[in-house]
Amino acid sequence: MPPSATSAFVILAPQGRKQTLEYAWINAAAGCSPTLVFLHEGLGSVALWRDFPKRLCARLGWRGLVYSRRGYGASSPRPHDEPLPRHYLRREAVEVLPALLAALGVARPWLIGHSDGGTIALLAAALLSPHRDAASCSGIVTLAPHYYVEDVCLEGIRRAAAAFERGDLRARLARHHQDVDGVFHGWRDVWLDPAYRDWSIEAELCRITCPALAIQGDADEYATLEQINGIKRQAPQTKLCVLPQCGHSPHLQLPEPTLDAIEAFIRAQDQNPASVKLL
């Protein structure tokens, strides 16, 4: 898969694991403004965010950073004999993300994460100390995140696996990934491993102290609303936004309400909240 026309590459070696990551700046001219860092889902990449990052950055007048994790998009593929580890989301949050932000000179970003990326944002907010780590976040927005494994999630992954093997999902994803089989099988194999059934980051959520917004569709095919309700129980400052008749990708399925909710939430950190349905 060719990289995006706007992509660049950075070589990192967190914990001795060398990797080349694809990334792209958005609204780079706003270099002195805060930075939004976009964290993609389990099958995502720079390109699969489409124009959502650009639209959000334009609304706020901020710059943005989008990147593809190792194995995704045009980033370096993962060796086929190296499965994704059980702790891959934690590794991304506390090893790779800080290394990337340090290499690109980004400090105290806002993290915008979808699905797996939303979980990475939660873990970064919980585990990176704002008093010690420049990569600690100023705030987070999570779109359809997961903090534990639900049966509905596993059922959704099994449906996706059938579509990948027998439908057109593989062909659609192959346009955006250098190693589409590695991307899909790595993601599927972790989540459907019986040993992963008890995975949870509930214990970490109470350590989140930064502003947080959790957005989810009420027709999410991979999760129930317990995912965001549970986050709020553990991190009470979290604001919730439930989008009606919306599935697992609010930023693509209902972009305008999603943009409205995020813009209102971020601006409310410095002024009175805008009129938006945040619970």
- CA dist., res. 75 & res. 23, Å (int): 9
Cβ contacts of 201 within 8 Å, gap of 6 or more: 89, 90, 119, 122, 123, 126, 147, 148
- CA dist., res. 93 & res. 32, Å (int): 24
The verdict on residue 1 lying in a domain is no
- CA dist., res. 101 & res. 108, Å (int): 9
- CA dist., res. 183 & res. 84, Å (int): 10
The verdict on residue 276 lying in a domain is no
- CA dist., res. 91 & res. 70, Å (int): 12
The verdict on residue 275 lying in a domain is no
CB atoms within 10 A of CB 157: 18
The verdict on residue 88 lying in a domain is yes
Whichever domain contains 234, its CATH number is 3.40.50.1820
| Model confidence, pTM | 0.94
Q: Which class for 136: exposed (0-12), middle (13-18), buried (19 or more C-beta within 10 A)?
A: buried
The verdict on residue 277 lying in a domain is no
DSSP letters along 92-104, please? Answer: IIIIIHHHHHHHH
The verdict on residue 75 lying in a domain is yes
The verdict on residue 239 lying in a domain is yes
Residue range(s) defining the domain that contains residue 180: 8-267
**What's the structural domain count of the chain?**
1
Q: What are phi and psi of 200, to 5 degrees?
A: -160, 145
Residue-wise pLDDT tens for the chain (279 aa)? 566 657 899 999 887 878 999 999 999 888 788 999 999 999 999 999 999 999 999 999 999 999 999 999 999 999 888 888 889 999 999 999 999 999 999 999 999 999 999 999 999 999 997 767 767 899 999 999 999 999 999 999 999 999 999 999 999 999 999 999 999 999 999 999 999 999 999 999 999 999 999 999 999 999 999 999 999 999 999 999 999 999 999 999 999 999 999 999 999 986 644 434 444
The verdict on residue 147 lying in a domain is yes
- CA dist., res. 214 & res. 225, Å (int): 10
